[in-house]
Amino acid sequence: MATKPGVWARLNLSRPGGIAGLILLAGGVAVTAVNWPGHWSYDSVVQLDQGRSGLYNAWHPPVMAWLLGLADRVQRGGALFTVLEAALVFGSLAALAALAGRRAWAAPAAALAALATPQLAIYPAIVWKDVLFAGAAVSAFVCLAWAGRVWPARAWRWALIAKAAALLGLAALARQNGLVLIPAAGVTLAWIGLRAEDAGRGAGRRWRAFGTGLVLALAAALIAMAGASALKLHSDGQNERRRQWEELRIYEMAAARSMRPELSFPILAAEAPAMNDFLVTRGPALLKFQRIDPLVQNPFINAHEDHDRPAVLAQWRAIFAADPMLYLRVRARLFAWVFLTPDLKACVPLSVGVDGPPQLMAGLGLGERYSDRDDAVFSYAQAFFGTPVYRHAAWAALAAAVMIACLIRRRPEDVAVAGLTASALGFAGTFFLISIACDYRYLYVLDLAALAGALYGAATFGPRQGPKT
């Protein structure tokens, strides 16, 4: 009678996969060193200041401030945060490459090609929540891929599932709409269980597979909720979330009037005439479909009273309840900017150097930086601006192709990669409802997931790889 291969046989650290993994890990070290001590934008500096003070607000994910504060306590300036980002990004890709079969010599070539992209050569060194989110998300699904590979080894399987739950919780804390990954990961793990060797027969085993997926989803959700509750204890007490939703509604109404100039705001005219006057007279000149900032950073919006909020909400509901197609047109136009980036330079393709509020930077001991090395890094990225490498739509097409190929083959590891690419596409889709700016970083996870999927394809597609189950 055939015996099941041991866990080390299932790990199958074959020569091509090992080489590809070493290339990626060495690339991660090189990227961190070349870009050290990382690239800090306005938001990054604000979050570091909050992390050092221990008082957070909800304009930015509190988990970013907390992690930056931890990094700052270890080494003044928080540069070690870039090591965390690089570890998540390059560690997950190296682990994915390690799934390669004995003859998958395309894997090292794919690893080298991936390292040439700005998405790996620069982005992991930018201190952004989007990079943290993407690294945590991809790492979580790579853990599920390995759980599928070692499924019969129960201790290994559950250790990987526990790690995936923690990473999913971190991803949800880094980006609120990252919560969509949690149910997707639960479904993915349940399907992996159904495809794995000890869960493929019998009703009882099928229920265990579903239960495993449910445990993952619940554990990740609990981690996210517990983390959010703990971080809220350090809140500055301001209700920034409510303000953000109100600004989103104002932005959508201004966009609706831009697309339909005859649109009026009778509720605002009666209950909040100053807001009505702002949207009718100044709104059209301030509106930019690529970014909410010119509109909501106007002194009037910054100073307007809370008692306008019920009228703003009522007017927003009245407009779009009466004409849902107008809402869809508004959202489609805003989403097109973030997904298609028709003017890449207006959509902050990357950030290099150090820049932030002068007072905060002085208090943090940071100086403004744009060195010759930063200029060289930007010039390198700029060479890709007119190519598909800097087009989310191209990465989405690649992610969809990988997902379809994995769903056709449906090995346990394939299901995990299909879940990753589907989740990245689904996350991108959430911006149809909430996009307020076209910054390229918002959909970085889509690019990274597609890169991971392509690397996995180069490492595993073809004749069956590794020991048979």
Q: What is the pLDDT of residues 212-268, one digit of tens each?
A: 999 999 999 999 999 999 999 888 777 777 888 899 999 999 999 999 999 999 999
Please indicate, yes or no, whether residues 193 and 255 belong to a single structural domain of this protein.
no
Least confident of 131-135, 194-198, 268-272: 194-198
Residue 66 shares a structural domain with residue 162: yes
Does one domain contain both 126 and 69?
yes
Residues 194 and 265 in one domain: no
Cβ(135)–Cβ(88) below 8 Å = yes
Indicate the residue among 322, 348, 377 that finishes a domain.
322
Q: Looking at the structure, do residues 374 and 244 belong to the same domain, yes or no?
A: no
DSSP 8-state symbol, 178: G
Question: In terms of domains, do 221 and 260 share one?
Answer: no
Which residues are bridge partners to 288 per DSSP?
291
Q: What is the distance between the alpha carbons of residues 274 and 182, in angstroms, rounded to a whole number?
A: 43
Is 351 a domain residue? no
pLDDT given at position 416: 97
62-74 and 81-97 helices, crossing angle to 10°? 100
Asked if residue 344 belongs to a domain, the reply is no
Domain termination residue (choose one: 269, 297, 322): 322
SS3 206: helix
Q: Are residues 45 and 158 in the same domain?
A: yes
pLDDT, one tens digit per residue, over 57-111 is 877 899 999 999 999 999 999 999 999 999 999 999 999 999 987 778 899 999 9
Mean of pLDDT values over 269-273 = 94
Task: Verify that 389 and 293 share a domain, yes or no.
Answer: no
Residues 372 and 414 reside in one and the same domain: yes
pLDDT given for residue 202 in this prediction: 59
Return the pLDDT at 209: 86
Q: What is the mean pLDDT of the chain?
A: 91
Task: Identify whether residues 226 and 288 lie together within a single domain.
Answer: no
Measured distance CA(191)–CA(309) in Å, rounded: 45
> Structural domain tally of the chain?
2
Q: Last residue of some domain: 295, 322, 349?
A: 322
CA 104 – CA 163 distance, rounded (Å): 28
Shared domain check, 151 and 47: yes
Question: Could you tell me if residue 347 is inside a domain?
Answer: no
Please report whether residue 354 resides in a domain.
no
Dihedral sign, CA of 38, 136, 243, 58?
A: negative
pLDDT score, position 295: 93
Domain, as residue range, for 272? 240-322
Dig out the tokens for 49 from the structure: 């200041």
61 located within any domain: yes
CA–CA distances in Å: residue 431 to residues 177, 245, 337? 9, 14, 10
218 and 277 inside one domain: no
Q: Whose CA is closest to 366, among 81, 130, 80, 78?
A: 78
Q: Alpha helices of 100-180 — where are they, by DSSP H?
A: 106-115, 118-121, 129-149, 154-174
With CA atoms as reference, report the closest residue to 277 among 286, 269, 267: 269
Taking only Cα atoms into account, the Rg of the chain, rounded to an integer number of angstroms, comes to: 24
- Which of 131, 182, 135, 189 lies closest to 160, judged by CA? 189
Identity of the residue numbered 65: A
Cα 148 versus chain centre, distance: 24
- For residue 272, the cross-strand partners are none
How many other β-carbons are positioned within 10 Å of the β-carbon of residue 345?
Answer: 9
3-state secondary structure 91-115: HHHHHHHCCCCCCCCHHHHHHHHHH
Task: Give the SS3 label for residue 465.
Answer: coil
In a domain, 36, yes or no: yes
d(CA 128, CA 67): 12
Task: Answer yes or no: is 335 within a domain.
Answer: no
Which pTM does this prediction carry? 0.93
Dump pLDDT digits (tens) for 13-72: 447 888 999 999 999 999 999 999 999 999 999 999 999 999 888 778 999 999 999 999
Taking Cα atoms as reference points, which of 415, 454, 460 lies closest to residue 186? 415
Instruction: Give me the phi and psi of 39, to 5 degrees please.
Output: -110, 130
pLDDT digits (tens, 9 = 90+) for 277-322: 999 999 989 999 999 999 988 888 877 766 578 899 999 999 999 9
pLDDT at 396 over 90: yes
Q: Is residue 327 part of a domain?
A: no
- The whole-angstrom separation of Cα 273 and Cα 270 is 6
